[in-house]
């Protein structure tokens, strides 16, 4: 296609629009922006829209209520991106919490295991001490019984002696079993390091029993000799073995007390470390909720105000934040201008080149509008091919200059259409300024800008009316 513009190639066309963002054609009659509800005013304003009758754009008497229309599934791109970022950061926080919890459980398990081991080791040491004391008492009782046996002459005394002898052997077996088991986790005594000690202890014990038996069953003249040897063997058993074993037990118990103190100290340290981690986690949660959660929700909220096709603000923004912004400037008597732009012959463009070409024209027009405004200005796509621009601080002269600059750049630039064609698209502009117009109502300002857009359309299009 040549460079011939749509206004020249297609002639003066209808001012109605076709919605095609979602891929489906839906004929939409243009209604002026003045139909938007003024916040805080319950009454719906009405005005005249545009309708093609007999080939000319004329006023129609239908209500100015602008039908709501979806802008396609692309309108939630920013919201989804914000939620994706939120889920990622939330996952990191939960992973940190889960990791800290696992570490805590592992440390607590080690502490409990240490306490369990310390407790059972203490019980083992006490059992060893108790067994050694029982053996000492049994040896002493057996020796005393043997001494009394020769003096009493009481019938049946022999049976009592045998019972004591059995208890003594049982106590000795318990002691030797504990020594041989090597149940000394602190390493105070290792049977393998003293292999002859238990054998020596058994030999002394057997000799002791032998001398005691001889003192009980022998003649009176030999009793004193055997009892003397038994006393000597008793001292040997206790002095050379049981006293040493008592020393081992004492050292073992002291070690257990020190171990218990160490476990208690470790528990205290871990407790305070946990408190510190909890405090840091609370601070992190506060920072996360303040900087991430709220930021994510705000990003999602901002995404709800964006048009999916162009990335500009959408109708929801016009009916919400834009109302507050304009009303605040009116209340503060701050100057601003409103510009309404409408792509010329947009229906003909859709009918001739298809809906994808219409989308391309809307996107390119939005980009030209964005490039022609300041960062402080706001552009809103509020329906089809129509755009509203809010210029804070701009008087009428600067607003007209801005609109003409955008109009000229748009009319001098070809737009590449999806099928490869290149076309020139023009737009018409209507503007109003506050407080120069002497209008102090938001809805009336919008209506005035819309009327001037109508004048630009009926005056030949591709022009600015202000």
Print the SS3 string covering the chain.
CCCCCHHHHCCCCCCCEEECCCCCCEEECCCCHHHCCCCCCCCCCCCCEEEEECCEEEEECCCCCCCCCCCCHHHHHHHHHHHHHHHHHHHHHHHHHHHHHHHHHHHHHHHHHHHHHHHHHHHHHHHHHHHHHHHHHHHHHHHHHHHHHHHHCCCCHHHHHHHHHHHHHHHHHHHHHHHHHCCCCCCCCCHHHCHHHHHHHHHHHHHHHHHHHHHHHCCHHHHHHHHHHHHHHHHHHHHHHHHHHHHHHHHHHHHHHHHHHHHHHHHHHHHHHHHHHHHHHHHHHHHHHHHHHHHHHHHHHHHHCECCCCCCECHHHHHCHHHHHHHHHHHCCCCEEEEEEEECCHHHHHHHHCHHHHHHHHHHHHHHHHHCCCCCCEEEEEECCEEEEEEECCCHHHHHHHHHHHHHHHHCCEEECCCCCEEECCEEEEEEEECCCCCCCHHHHHHHHHHHHHHHHHCCCCCEEC
Q: Any idea what the CATH number is for the domain that residue 163 is in?
A: 1.20.120
Confidence of residue 17 (pLDDT cuts 50, 70, 90): very low
Evaluate whether residue 290 is within a structural domain: no
392 and 456 in contact (C-beta within 8 Å)? no
Q: How confident is the model at residue 366 (pLDDT cuts 50, 70, 90)?
A: very high
Q: Do 380 and 343 belong to one domain?
A: yes
d(CA 6, CA 12): 9
104 located within any domain:
no
272 shares a domain with 387: no
Cβ within 8 Å of residue 94, ≥6 positions away: none
Residue 15 pLDDT > 60: no
Confidence class of residue 199 from pLDDT cuts 50, 70 and 90? confident
Mean pLDDT within 288-316: 75
The rounded distance, in Å, linking the Cα atoms of 71 and 74 is 8
Region of 11 (left: φ > 0; alpha: ψ -120 to 50; beta: rest) is left
| Confidence check: pLDDT of 400 > 60 | yes
pLDDT over threshold 80, residue 91: no
Copy the structure tokens of residue 418. Answer: 């999806």
Is 330 a residue whose pLDDT tops 70? yes
Confidence of residue 381 (pLDDT cuts 50, 70, 90): very high
Provide the pLDDT for residue 190.
56
Domain count, the chain: 2
pLDDT number for residue 425: 92
161 Cβ contact partners less than 8 Å away, ≥ 6 residues apart? 142, 145, 146, 149, 216
Of 392 and 89, the structure prediction assigns the larger pLDDT to 392
Mean pLDDT of 297-325: 82
**251-265, 357-371, 441-455: which range is least confident on average?**
251-265
pLDDT at 250 over 50: yes
Mean pLDDT over all residues of the chain? 75
Residues spanned by the domain of 447: 6-71+311-465
Domain boundary among 264, 282, 300: 282
Boundary-marking domain end, from 282, 298, 333: 282
Closest CA to 117 of 254, 266, 249, 260: 260
CA distance 276 to 464: 67
More confident residue, 89 or 452: 452
Interatomic CA distance for residues 345 and 273, integer angstroms:
72
In this predicted structure, what is the pLDDT of residue 256? 72
Does 80 fall in a domain?
no
Q: Is beta strand 56-60 parallel, antiparallel or unpaired with respect to 378-383?
A: unpaired
The answer to whether the CB of 38 falls within 8 A of the CB of 323 is: yes
pLDDT for position 332: 94
Statement to judge: residues 258 and 323 lie in one domain? no
206 and 258 part of one domain:
yes
What number is the average pLDDT over the span 36-65? Answer: 36
pLDDT at 326: 92
Instruction: Give the pLDDT of residue 96.
Output: 78
Same domain, residue pair 27 and 171: no
Q: Are residues 354 and 260 in the same domain?
A: no
Residue 120 pLDDT greater than 50, yes or no:
yes
pLDDT at 191: 54
Residue 134 shares a structural domain with residue 58:
no
- pLDDT band at 127, cuts 50/70/90? confident
Whether the pLDDT of residue 154 is over 70: the answer is no
> What's the whole-number mean pLDDT along residues 342-371?
91
- Residue 156: pLDDT band by 50, 70, 90 thresholds? low
Does position 126 have pLDDT exceeding 90, yes or no?
A: no
More confident residue, 77 or 103: 103
Q: Tell me: do 262 and 334 sit in the same domain.
A: no
pLDDT band at 303 (very low <50, low <70, confident <90, very high): low
The CATH number covering residue 12 comes to 3.30.70.270
Please return the burial class of 378, using the count of CB atoms within 10 Å of its CB with bins 0-12, 13-18 and 19+: buried
How confident is the model at residue 386, as a pLDDT?
A: 94
Q: Residue 198: pLDDT above 50? A: yes
Average pLDDT of span 362-383:
91
454 pLDDT tier (thresholds 50, 70, 90): very high
Residue 100 lies in a domain: no
More confident residue, 333 or 22: 333
* Mean pLDDT computed over 103-123: 77
Q: Above 50 in pLDDT, residue 259?
A: yes
The predicted pLDDT at position 82 comes to 56
- Taking CA atoms, 21 is separated from 257, 275, 386, 419, in Å, by 80, 56, 14, 17
Same domain, 261 and 325: no
Say which range, 18-22, 274-278, 409-413, has the weakest mean pLDDT: 18-22
Q: Is 331 part of a structural domain of the chain?
A: yes
Q: Whole-prediction pTM value? A: 0.46
In a domain, 169, yes or no: yes
> C-alpha 405: how far from its chain's center?
49
Residue 89 covered by a domain: no
Same domain membership, residue 243 and residue 204: yes
336-343 and 378-383 strand pairing: unpaired
**Pair (328, 444) in one structural domain:** yes
Does a structural domain hold residue 232? Answer: yes
124 and 255, same domain (yes or no): yes
For residues 97 and 89, give the distance between their C-alpha atoms in angstroms, rounded to a whole number: 12
Given a cut of 60, whether residue 32 has pLDDT beyond it is: no
């Amino acid at each position: 296609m040549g460079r011939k513009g749509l206004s020249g190639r297609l002639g003066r066309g209808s001012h109605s629009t076709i919605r095609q963002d979602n891929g489906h054609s839906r004929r939409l009659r243009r209604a002026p922006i003045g139909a938007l509800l003024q916040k805080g005013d319950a009454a719906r304003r009405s005005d005249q829209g545009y309708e093609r009758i007999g080939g000319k754009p004329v006023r129609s008497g239908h209500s100015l209520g602008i039908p709501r229309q979806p802008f396609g599934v692309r309108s939630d791109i920013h919201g989804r991106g914000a939620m994706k970022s939120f889920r990622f950061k939330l996952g990191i926080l939960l992973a940190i919490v889960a990791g800290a919890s696992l570490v805590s459980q592992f440390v607590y398990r080690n502490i409990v295991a240490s306490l369990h081991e310390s407790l059972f080791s203490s019980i083992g040491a006490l059992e060893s001490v108790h067994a050694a004391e029982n053996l000492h008492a049994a040896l002493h009782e057996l020796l005393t019984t043997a001494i009394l046996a020769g003096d009493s002459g009481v019938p049946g005394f022999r049976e009592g002696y045998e019972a004591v002898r059995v208890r003594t052997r049982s106590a000795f077996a318990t002691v030797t079993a504990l020594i041989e088991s090597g149940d000394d986790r602190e390493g105070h005594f290792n049977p393998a390091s003293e292999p002859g000690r238990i054998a020596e202890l058994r030999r002394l014990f057997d000799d002791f029993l032998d001398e005691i038996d001889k003192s009980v069953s022998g003649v009176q003249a030999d009793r004193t000799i055997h009892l003397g040897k038994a006393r000597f063997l008793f001292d040997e058993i206790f002095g050379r073995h049981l006293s040493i074993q008592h020393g081992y037990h004492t050292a073992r118990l002291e070690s257990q007390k020190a171990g218990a103190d160490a476990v208690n100290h470790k528990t205290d340290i871990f407790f305070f470390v946990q408190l510190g981690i909890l405090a840091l986690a609370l601070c992190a949660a506060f920072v996360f909720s303040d900087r991430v959660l709220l930021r994510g929700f705000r990003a999602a909220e901002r995404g709800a105000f964006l048009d999916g096709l162009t990335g500009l603000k959408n109708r929801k923004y016009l009916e919400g934040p834009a109302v507050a912004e304009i009303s605040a400037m009116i209340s503060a008597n701050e100057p601003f201008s409103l510009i309404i732009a409408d792509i010329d012959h947009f229906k003909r463009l859709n009918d001739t080149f298809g809906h994808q070409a219409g989308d391309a024209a809307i996107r390119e027009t939005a980009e030209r509008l964005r490039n022609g405004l300041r960062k402080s200005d706001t552009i809103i796509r509020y329906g089809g091919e129509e755009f509203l621009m809010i210029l804070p601080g701009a008087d009428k002269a600067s607003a007209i200059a801005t609109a003409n600059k955008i109009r000229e750049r748009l009319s001098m630039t070809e737009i590449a259409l999806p099928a490869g064609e290149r076309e020139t698209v023009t737009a018409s502009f209507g503007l109003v300024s506050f407080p120069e117009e002497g209008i102090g109502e938001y809805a009336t300002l919008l209506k005035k800008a819309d009327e001037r857009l109508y004048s630009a359309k009926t005056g030949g299009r591709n022009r600015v009316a202000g």
